[in-house]
Amino acid sequence: MNLVMSPESTIANVEELQRQEETAATCHRGLHLIASSKSEDISDCAQGMPSF
Half-sphere exposure of 39 (CA within 13 A, CB side): 0
Is residue 52 included in any domain, yes or no? no
38 is in which domain, residue-wise? 7-44
Q: What's the structural domain count of the chain?
A: 1
Task: For residues 38 and 52, give the distance between their C-alpha atoms in angstroms, rounded to a whole number.
Answer: 20
pLDDT tens digits along 29-46? 887 777 776 545 555 555
**DSSP assignment of 7-43:** HHHHHHHHHHHHHHHHHHHHHHHHHHHHHHH--S---
Is residue 38 included in any domain, yes or no? yes
pLDDT tens digits along 7-22? 788 888 889 989 988 8
Reported pTM: 0.42
Phi then psi for 2, rounded to 5 degrees? -80, 125
